[in-house]
Structure 1
């Protein structure tokens, strides 16, 4: 598969991010957001199947070739929302659509709920709201997060003697993927080190969240959505397994598309990518 993208670096006021650019410069503006521990290669199969769009597929901060956040900073999900807004500002896009997978879908919903005047359309893949927590659990969660943060300095990333071993590890990781998908993610996500390869991702990404939104917080963002929303639900994915998932869609103006495949159905193979593209290509080009 020959890539049809341009590799760019975006110097934002607070951080430098990497991205892949797809499509014509005058295409419909879309920012594509990948899932946790993935990178811009998540859209390597899907983006070329969405003609007429100017797609900026980001590496989130701490992922892929983007900068890590500075020492002392964290990776709260709302910080990604700020990053995406700054990317839109860099391109001069006052209004744009979002194409998000998993965590990227969650970031998309938060931004569209917070600033509905900026987001034209949401195309979501197997993601909608973050894992939530209730008030009574907050002290224990913060304590566990602080302990994990203090212990992080003594931990080391895994080193794989061969590229293929890293690919196999990614196949078995969170949101298991096909070998081809794992290879695409690994090609962008690995870096050489003494003894083999390790992941570029910031180790702080694996820390537990010190604070989670409550269910009421999360639903407030969904309720405030004003733009059209098209959601792809993978039948063997992660979203369908969330408790009370049906309640999230009840009475909401969200178009639901159930498709066969796993959590990374848009990347696992060409068939899945085409099915997702068929859901989104006319939707994202609509005025």
Structure 2
């Protein structure tokens, strides 16, 4: 029988964080992290199949039903620190991770920084962030400064129906996504506004990163992971267009890599049962 979910909220010192929970408290403790501009509903299709797992899927700050950070408050390490505060609130000294895209990158940062606290890490079509070298830092910072100045002039779109917001997500996303998958994410990502609907998402999340890891920085986090680590790569996902990224992934011999036909949101689309089966086997193997 599929596992049902319920809502959860965390009143952290600096922000309110929302999430969804599947499973029973006695199961393997797992914190699940969604991708950029998505939310906890990204795990709706796979979480009910993960028997023996107590899965807490977060709306990361700025996303879904969670609060927004103060000005210029978003970074991979800030988001990772919030995840750690959630674990503290849950009383979890050690826990496992499940991340998609940006959530997978955050998982890699946490698992590489605090290897003694991470039981295992499963990543879906994501592992390391976009990188740039030191000489690019001034240009990257300039992009960030200029974008912050323009942020106040931008207004969120307002849709007169949820269906139009779903269409906007399908047509305007950074990666292809099916309508059903978009609908699951949009439902949690909208709020009423001026007689219609607009995004709950913090506009600051659209700002470019002020700083990026170098390749060496990014690799060092993954190299420092000691917990069992499973990576599910989408054959038609974001990485298949970047052979140099795939080559870097292949160099990490301590990762177990599964390649699955599907797009970037494969865990929320047709390959979802296959992804769920891989993750179920992975988490079961830990016991």
Tell me the TM-score normalised to structure 2 length: 0.96
The residue number in structure 2 matching 1:160 is: 159
Alignment of 1:136-175 (within 5 A): 136-172=135-171, 173-175=173-175
What is the CA-CA distance between 1:4 and the residue it aligns to? 1.5
How many residue pairs match? The answer is 283
Residues 223 and 252 in structure 1, CA contact (< 8 A), matched pair in contact too: no
CA distance change for structure 1 residues 150 and 3 in 2, over 3 Å: closer, same or farther? farther
User: Over residues 30-76 of structure 1, what are the superposed CA-to-partner deviations in whole Å (9 max), with x where a residue is unaligned?
Assistant: 00000000000000011001111000000000000000002x34211
Structure 2: how far apart are the matches of 1:182 and 1:36?
Answer: 13
Structure 2: how far apart are the matches of 1:190 and 1:11?
Answer: 22
Flag structure 1 segments of 5+ consecutive residues without an equivalent.
none
List structure 1 segments (4+ residues) > 4 angstroms apart after TM superposition: none
Structure 2: how far apart are the matches of 1:205 and 1:247?
Answer: 27
Structure 1: how far apart are the matches of 2:88 and 2:165?
Answer: 36
What is the CA-CA distance between 1:160 and the residue it aligns to? 1.3
Tell me the TM-score normalised to structure 1 length: 0.96
Matched, 1:211 2:233: no
The residue number in structure 1 matching 2:96 is: 97
What is the CA-CA distance between 1:3 and the residue it aligns to? 8.1
The residue number in structure 2 matching 1:265 is: 266
Residues 219 and 248 in structure 1, CA contact (< 8 A), matched pair in contact too: no
User: Over residues 96-118 of structure 1, what are the superposed CA-to-partner deviations in whole Å (9 max), with x where a residue is unaligned?
Assistant: 11000000000000000000001
**Partner SS, residue 236 of structure 1:** coil
**Partner SS, residue 144 of structure 1:** helix
CA distance change for structure 1 residues 3 and 226 in 2, over 3 Å: closer, same or farther? closer
The residue number in structure 1 matching 2:83 is: 84
**Partner SS, residue 175 of structure 1:** coil
CA RMSD of aligned residues (A): 1.3
Flag structure 2 segments of 5+ consecutive residues without an equivalent.
none
CA distance change for structure 1 residues 43 and 97 in 2, over 3 Å: closer, same or farther? same
User: Over residues 81-100 of structure 1, what are the superposed CA-to-partner deviations in whole Å (9 max), with x where a residue is unaligned?
Assistant: 10111111111111111000
